[in-house]
Chain A
Amino acid sequence: QKEVEQDPGPLSVPEGAIVSLNCTYSNSAFQYFMWYRQYSRKGPELLMYTYSSGNKEDGRFTAQVDKSSKYISLFIRDSQPSDSATYLCASGGRSGGGADGLTFGKGTHLIIQP
C-alpha cells in the first residue's frame, strides 16, 4: 500500500461545476498536507497547504484535512477550462519538522469541459 493514495482519473466536469479531489494517507506521522497543480511537461505549482486538521480557503480553492480519517480534499469552485491539469496531493512532516521530502499521490487528471 502506498503511503498516499489518489485516484488518477481522469475526472471530467463541465465548466462552472464544483470539483472535489481527494486523497487518503496511511502514515499517522504526517503533519502537513499540500496540493500542487501540474500542467503537462511542467513542474508542480504549489496551490494550497494545511498544517494538521482543518480547512483553508484561497479564492476558488478550499483544502480540507481530516486527520482522524486520514482524508485530504481539495474543492474548486466555479471551475474554468484553465483549471484542467493534474492535481497532486502531498504529505510531509514524518520526522516532526518541515524539512522532510514530501510523499506524493499519483495525481488526478482533471478536465474542465467548456
Chain B
Amino acid sequence: DTGVSQNPRHKITKRGQNVTFRCDPISEHNRLYWYRQTLGQGPEFLTYFQNEAQLEKSRLLSDRFSAERPKGSFSTLEIQRTEQGDSAMYLCASSPYASVLTGEQFFGPGTRLTVL
C-alpha cells in the first residue's frame, strides 16, 4: 500500500497522560499536514511541514501540542497532559510539490484518540 499510513489507529489514554502519533506520508511527498476532526465536524487544520520545516501552525495548536518531522520523512504529533477535549480523530495528509498550484492533499486513515 503506497498511501499515507498512521499509527496507532486507536489510542485510549487517561487524562493527564502524554500520547504520540506517527504519520508516514506518501513516498516523495514533501508536504505533510496534521488535522483534527471531532464528531459531526469537518477536519480542522493544525500544522504543516515542507520537508523538515514546520511552516504554519493553527491557533488550535496549543502549547501542549508539538509536531516534528525529522529528516523530512515521517512526522510525529505529541500531546502532553491530555484533556478530555483532546478526544478526536487526528488525521495526517501529504501532498507532492506538483500540487503547489492545485493544493491536492491525500489523507491517511487517522488515529482515533479517546481520553478518559
Contacts and interface: CB of A to CB of B under 8 A. Distances in A.
A34 B102 CA distance: 9
B60 to A, nearest CB: 10
B48 A97 contact: no
Contacts of B107: 36, 43-46
Given A44-B91, A104-B43, A104-B44, A98 B106 contact: no
Interface of B: 4, 6, 31, 33, 35, 40-48, 50, 55-56, 58, 89, 91, 95, 99-110, 112
B105 A104 contact: no
Given A97-B101, A100-B103, A102-B45, 9 more contacts: A34-B105, A42-B109, A46-B107, A51-B101, A93-B103, A99-B100, A101-B33, A101-B58, A106-B40
A76 to B, nearest CB: 19
A100 B58 CA distance: 11
Given A43-B91, A98-B95, A34 B44 contact: no
Nearest to A91: B103
Contacts of B56: 100-101
A101 B48 CA distance: 7
A88 interface: yes
A73 interface: no
B54 to A, nearest CB: 12
Contacts of B6: 43
Contact of B112 (A41, A88, A97, A101): A41
Nearest to A42: B109
Interface string A77-111: 00000000000101011000111111111110000
